[in-house]
Amino acid sequence: MAIFIGLMAGGSPLLAQTAGASSPGAQATPPPRPTPPTRDPNTPGYVTARELPDGAVPPADTDGNFVIGPTHSPAPEMVAQEGVPQGTLYHFTMSSADSRIYPGIARDPGTFGTVDPNDPAKLVVSTSHPAPYTRRVAVYVPKQYVPGAVAPFIVGADGPDALLFTALDNLIAQKKVPVMVAISIGNGSGDAQGSQRGLEYDTMSGRYAEFVETEVLPLVEKQYNLKLTKDPEGRATMGCSSGGSAALIMAWYHPELYHRVLTYSGT
């Protein structure tokens, strides 16, 4: 198995507090955010890895750890290939008004949490409130799917994800993965604490998996005449950043539902 080590800039907004007098009604200007630090993979304590020239990737049949450069050609599986059967895509929208688990919240624009004086590991968010949302859901059904057959599937966060569908077209045709359905679910908007997306993806509980299981998958099966497997070996989750956290906690809290997780740069 090849493990790729990448560097990703990002992080939560900095919390700043200024002391001293200010004129009435004046707002403190937050300091500019510093450039996020990068980590040197040659630092002692890192897993030993072979650094490849920029633009190069290791062969698919090579085991080991590798550091890849910022530019490289996309994997052929991620590009539409001539002659490869293409699956059918369906789209629908879900409303907060129809959700029992997630009726909807939002945080006021331009506001963030403040550090809890009694627990510096926590943020206090006072500007979050109930708010409606809609989310888009895309369903990929491979060309090879036989109606009525029980299908394995993958649930993806922050959807719809066109790259996922292209990859499945190619990988199914190459027989590297089974004939499988993909359900790519959009988030309920916002980011981080106090937002609907933060509530869904960053909360350490089984709630998001329960939302998918009871509110999303039954709709998918009913609307598109699909039968999705109940076998956790045939169920996968995936996501990036906070979506990667969501993918992990779906299986962590409900291993009876998911045995396979694909998380990129999970928070």
Q: Which two tokens stand for residue 23?
A: 């004129």
What is the rounded distance in angstroms from the CA atom of residue 151 to the CA atom of residue 160?
Answer: 20
pLDDT higher at 245 or 112: 245
What local confidence, expressed as pLDDT, does residue 250 receive? Answer: 98
Overall average pLDDT of the 167-180 stretch: 97
What local confidence, expressed as pLDDT, does residue 28 receive? Answer: 63
Sequence-separated (6 or more) residues with CB below 8 Å from residue 201: 157, 187, 208, 239, 242, 243, 245, 246
Overall average pLDDT of the 173-188 stretch: 97
Overall average pLDDT of the 137-146 stretch: 98
pLDDT higher at 67 or 153: 153
Q: Answer yes or no: is pLDDT of 22 > 70.
A: no
Residue 238 · residue 214 · CB < 8 Å: no
Mean pLDDT of the chain: 88
pLDDT tier for residue 221 given thresholds of 50, 70 and 90: very high
What local confidence, expressed as pLDDT, does residue 19 receive? Answer: 34
Lowest mean pLDDT among 26-40, 98-112, 133-147, 173-187: 26-40
pLDDT higher at 67 or 143: 143
- What does the pLDDT look like over 44-88, one tens digit per residue? 888 889 999 999 989 889 999 998 888 888 889 999 999 999 999
pLDDT tier for residue 8 given thresholds of 50, 70 and 90: very low
Q: Which two tokens stand for residue 26?
A: 């004046």
Residue 250 · residue 257 · CB < 8 Å: yes
Overall average pLDDT of the 148-155 stretch: 97
What local confidence, expressed as pLDDT, does residue 27 receive? Answer: 53
| Distance between first and last Cα of the chain | 23
Residue bearing tokens 């304590």: 45
Q: Answer yes or no: is pLDDT of 4 > 70.
A: no
Overall average pLDDT of the 135-143 stretch: 98
Residue 212 · residue 187 · CB < 8 Å: no
Overall average pLDDT of the 182-192 stretch: 96
